[in-house]
Structure 1
Amino acid sequence: MSTSSSPVYLVGVDVGTGSARAALVTGKGEVLQTCVKPIQTWNTQPNYYEQSSDDIWSAVCECVKNVTSGYAKEQIKGIGFDATCSLVVLDGQMQPLTVCPSSKDNQRNVILWMDHRAEEEARFINATHHQMLNYVGGSISLEMEVPKLLWLKRNMHDAVWTKVGAFYDLPDYLTFRATGADCRSICSAVCKWNYDAEERCWSQDFLQTIGLVDDLRVDSWRLIGTHVANPGAAIDGGLSRQAAQELGLNPGTAVASSMIDAHAGALALLGCEGPPGRAGDGGSLTSKMAIICGTSSCHMSLTKRPVLAPGIWGPYKHAIIPDLYLNEAGQSATGVLIDYMLQTHPCYDQLLKEHGGSNGKIYAFLNTFLDELAKKQGESSVHRLTIDLHVWPDFHGNRSPLADPNLKGMISGLTMTKDVQNLALIYLALMQALAYGTRHILQVLEASGREPITSILLCGGLSKNSLFVQTHADICSVPVLLPSEPEAVLLGSAMMGAYAAGLYDSLELAASGMGGSAKVVKPDLSDSTRDYHERKYRVFQRMYLDQRGYERIMKG
């Protein structure tokens, strides 16, 4: 790390599903200031979710000004951006162009990552069985960008497709606004746009097969990106004068090539270590899995050699660390699903009044309630309370490893009871189901030749829930590490800013130098607990087979 007599700072920017955030971070990874501003989402019909790039940028500027207020601009050396993998559409003048079929409002120019309008297009692409699909587990997700591009061509050809000046992944749009330079990150390109990372080029054959090549390869692929850089690479020129004024920083401040939000979180998590001298708590970069668990969950792991796993995205070369391969799995609904189960239960309003008016306080109450219930019933483990209550958690489809957006959620064991105990047990069974989903992902990766995962690192809202954390440790039979710095995603973006500014010689060194330490949560490896979860996991797997069986029966 470069040294200086005066302190230096980095800014990390994170745009999530519902808000923009910024953090001021030291060169050693200490988060000093944070700020959050909400962003608007339109959801005027089922499966359609839209945002505004101008609204997002305005929120980013407010946040950056807030966290840097009172600090000398000269001391702020770099800025990194991450965001959701949402699709930004601009016209020929690089101004917002609507993506809403029912509105001419050009402010609605972002198709949010969780928008599911492109189901038919994803099905069409998957039916080609093109070899590029091997890098997305054999099946492209309707949440990725290429199906959404095809949807726009098919459904908004005159209104949008013929007027487009550029398509951006949201993280790359932020660096475009910051610098004016048309630089795309290989993180977004390879993970969400089917870019060929091995050859470092767009696959003409793939795009020809699905009917997009003639539209997209004009002017050396100008619409989707001519220059593709590694994450964290400094973008020529740094911060533009206009962006510097909007952000309250100096022109020329180093700007890093971006990452997707979950990937920035993974960078910070994978650079984090357990306490020294604790066997099994740290491990090499390639023996860990990072799980970023918020609205949805993303499961990230790195390997030295490519691993092709069915239903799991990747291997993506260079997506986080140069020359390492990323496998990316996930669950489409986690935090949002727990909130949904809570808020739709008959006793929710009662609990809301009794426990401080926030879901977080209700979860803390339910965790304590379950511990006391287990003791009252003489159970050695809280997990045994759900012996006859089971959940299949794909209420918003399955991202990994089954890669089926049409799968539905299931609950077995419901009664007419609607009291607090009933809610607590459903909540526990859902926590277990989400952890069984993670175990399923690990199982498929290891069956595909990946070396065993020896530790899991968690960040995001659910990492603050002790029941969620311990349940993952017990069901996956590995230690779970919780970073001492909880703002992992913001920290990951700041790491990119530090590398771009030259504070570290590589992104990997920035991660290890700023990653910090972690608290370790050990799994319960007792025979009784492992046997119980083994049996419940068999039920979990059977529920999927049963759902498929029901489909076959109803199709005749």
Structure 2
Amino acid sequence: MYLGIDLGTSSVKVIILDNQDQLHAQASSPLTVSRPHDQWSEQNPQDWWQATCLAMAELKQKNPALLQQVKSVGLSGQMHGATLLDSQNNVIRPAILWNDGRSEAQCKIIEQLQPNSRNITGNIAMPGFTAPKLLWVKENEPENFDNVAKVLLPKDYLRLLMTGDFASDMSDSAGTLWLDVEGRCWSEAMLAATSLTVDHMPKLYEGTDITGTLTAEVAELWGVGQIPVVAGAGDNAAGAIGIGVIKPNQAFLSLGTSGVYFAANERYLPNPDNAVHTFCHCLSDTWHQMSVILSAASCLSWVTQLTGYDNEAALLDQVAKCDFSQPNSVLFLPYLSGERTPHNDPKAKGVFFGLDHNTDAATLGRAVLEGVAFAFADGQKVLLEAGAQIDDITVIGGGAKSRLWGDILASVLNRPLSYREGGEVGPAFGAARLARIAIEGAPVESICTAGQLKHTVQPNPQMQDYYATQYQQFSRLYQSTKSLFI
């Protein structure tokens, strides 16, 4: 048995997987996000640990015998979060998250201080990345910056409490803007641009490497042995491992809090100017390209609350009654937290356009599903321009539960979409697979296979016709309104 832990933005998920890829148990514990100011997004790292231990306590209560059989632990987590520790490993301030937009000015400063930044990192400097967050802390909270001894990514803070080790993997670290992504090592030049050194960073590992062992106290608390902990991956790379996206031509769409269009590559293919992310994969000598929209399934949660429905499924039931033989009367820009690909615009806002007296909750819900799909189309366009090869696309994440959303996405993207077993579990499944690879030593290709195909969604020709027109309107709407965002 293998344990996969995924530290998400909205919850911590833990699963137990066997060596036949059978999911035996799972549990989760919710998290909340603090937004004390406009564009800010923070969490307390201690809450991550508490949620992880609560989820493990549920597993221990319901499946004590299974936990005794666990051989290793794999970690996955939300990327880019700046977790600042002092010399005593105390948390200095709340962690600044991936969807925090406060550091736009610092991104420009970093690229001025290090003009070769995009060549070194393979990415344009964005507020979501970790490095500009540290420069913001230096400029706005100098007393906190002066106390920084280590900077960890969210999942690696869990690792520290689990094992006592400062360690990270290549895929997660590639999202800091401090990594030489082609060379797979920390860049002293990029660290210097934020007045940091390699000593402030954790040791780097490939995703299948063992980084340490659970302490006796944590092992007893969780009901497992003092088992190895594997490096793991950032949530998107872990999601790719979970559904077998490890080679060119393979891709996935993740409908989580954010939206990710992920394409695997066997070589380094940067294209930073179009806000395409080029990161290390969590497997050695493998990279990936990625377009990211900052609000995906979170838009559906938002409009569900806005319209007074008890849950997303109830609203989706109403949306399904809409007449999809005709285009929607309302367009939606899904930029509730700003946007990354392709706009790199932290000031971008959500917009409903086309409201009238007949607009109801179902119309708004449909507009949200379609707006997120159009944002994915923006990402697909720049990925293809960057040289990505995309044949097979698997849909993962909580939004994968909606067949209706799949119909919309397939028709907007003009591509069939595959839905596979394990797709809804996502990164936790991939984390457990990485833990298994580390122990069994089996070839990666034999473990990182695509899950059993549940169904395929084909584009709807009628919807394709009107979505082609609406996508152009969607693009013009952003261009027409972006100067109004403040």
Give the TM-score normalised by the residue count of structure 1.
0.81
Residue-by-residue CA offset, 1:1-59 (whole Å, 9 max, x unaligned): xxxxxxxx111111111222211111122111111112354333333333222232122
* Alignment correspondent of 1:519: 454
* Alignment correspondent of 1:94: 89
* Alignment correspondent of 1:11: 3
Q: Structure 1: how far apart are the matches of 2:123 and 2:436?
A: 36
Letter matched to residue 402 of structure 2: N
Q: Structure 2: how far apart are the matches of 1:206 and 1:504?
A: 35
Q: In the TM superposition, what are the counterparts of 1:37-436 in structure 2 within 5 Å? A: 37-68=29-60, 69-71=63-65, 74-85=68-79, 86-97=81-92, 99=93, 109-127=94-112, 130-134=115-119, 139-158=124-143, 160-208=144-192, 210-212=193-195, 216-217=196-197, 221-225=198-202, 227-236=203-212, 238-251=213-226, 253-271=227-245, 285-309=247-271, 310-317=273-280, 319-344=281-306, 348-349=307-308, 352=309, 357-367=310-320, 369-370=321-322, 374=323, 382=324, 384-386=326-328, 388-418=329-359, 422-436=360-374
* Alignment correspondent of 2:386: 448
Q: Structure 2: how far apart are the matches of 1:314 and 1:43?
A: 26
Residue-by-residue CA offset, 1:419-467 (whole Å, 9 max, x unaligned): xxx222222222222112212211112122222x223211112111122
Structure 2 residue 436 is the aligned partner of structure 1 residue 495:
no
Cα distance, 1:314 vs structure 2: 3.5
Q: Secondary structure at the match of 1:391?
A: strand
Does the 8 Å contact 1:153/1:161 carry over to 2?
Answer: yes
* Alignment correspondent of 1:274: none
Q: Secondary structure at the match of 1:263?
A: helix
Q: Structure 2: how far apart are the matches of 1:524 and 1:73?
A: 43
* Alignment correspondent of 1:379: none
Does the 8 Å contact 1:172/1:258 carry over to 2?
Answer: no
Give the TM-score normalised by the residue count of structure 2.
0.91
Cα distance, 1:132 vs structure 2: 2.7
Deviates more, 1:121-130 or 1:480-489: 121-130
Deviates more, 1:426-435 or 1:120-129: 120-129
Task: Give the alignment partner of residue 477 of structure 1, picking from 399, 402, 414.
Answer: 414
Q: Structure 1: how far apart are the matches of 2:67 and 2:137?
A: 42
Q: Secondary structure at the match of 2:98?
A: coil
Cα distance, 1:211 vs structure 2: 4.4
Q: How many pairs align?
A: 481
Quickly say closer, same or farther: Cα 1:417–1:211, change in 2 above 3 A: same
Q: Structure 2: how far apart are the matches of 1:404 and 1:46?
A: 14
Cα distance, 1:207 vs structure 2: 3.3
Q: Structure 2: how far apart are the matches of 1:270 and 1:495?
A: 10
Letter matched to residue 161 of structure 1: F
Cα distance, 1:170 vs structure 2: 0.9
Structure 2 residue 21 is the aligned partner of structure 1 residue 36:
no
Q: Structure 2: how far apart are the matches of 1:483 and 1:428?
A: 25
Cα distance, 1:416 vs structure 2: 2.9
Letter matched to residue 241 of structure 2: L
Q: CA RMSD in A?
A: 2.4
Does the 8 Å contact 1:23/1:35 carry over to 2?
Answer: yes
Q: Percent identity?
A: 20
Letter matched to residue 437 of structure 1: A
Residue-by-residue CA offset, 1:303-343 (whole Å, 9 max, x unaligned): 123323333344323x2322122112111111222232333
Cα distance, 1:522 vs structure 2: 3.0
Q: Structure 1: how far apart are the matches of 2:150 and 2:17?
A: 32
Quickly say closer, same or farther: Cα 1:128–1:270, change in 2 above 3 A: farther
Cα distance, 1:400 vs structure 2: 0.6
Cα distance, 1:507 vs structure 2: 4.0
Cα distance, 1:417 vs structure 2: 3.2
Cα distance, 1:358 vs structure 2: 2.3
Does the 8 Å contact 1:129/1:138 carry over to 2?
Answer: no
Letter matched to residue 404 of structure 1: D
Quickly say closer, same or farther: Cα 1:409–1:41, change in 2 above 3 A: closer
Cα distance, 1:229 vs structure 2: 0.4
* Alignment correspondent of 1:542: 476
Q: Structure 2: how far apart are the matches of 1:258 and 1:384?
A: 45
Residue-by-residue CA offset, 1:218-244 (whole Å, 9 max, x unaligned): xxx22112x2101121124x2222321
Q: Structure 2: how far apart are the matches of 1:24 and 1:489?
A: 13
Q: Secondary structure at the match of 1:265?
A: helix
Does the 8 Å contact 2:270/2:386 carry over to 1?
Answer: yes
Does the 8 Å contact 2:42/2:97 carry over to 1?
Answer: yes
Does the 8 Å contact 1:454/1:479 carry over to 2?
Answer: no
Q: Structure 1: how far apart are the matches of 2:119 and 2:408?
A: 32
Residue-by-residue CA offset, 1:486-535 (whole Å, 9 max, x unaligned): 312211111111112x22424443212xx421223232353x44332222
Quickly say closer, same or farther: Cα 1:509–1:293, change in 2 above 3 A: same
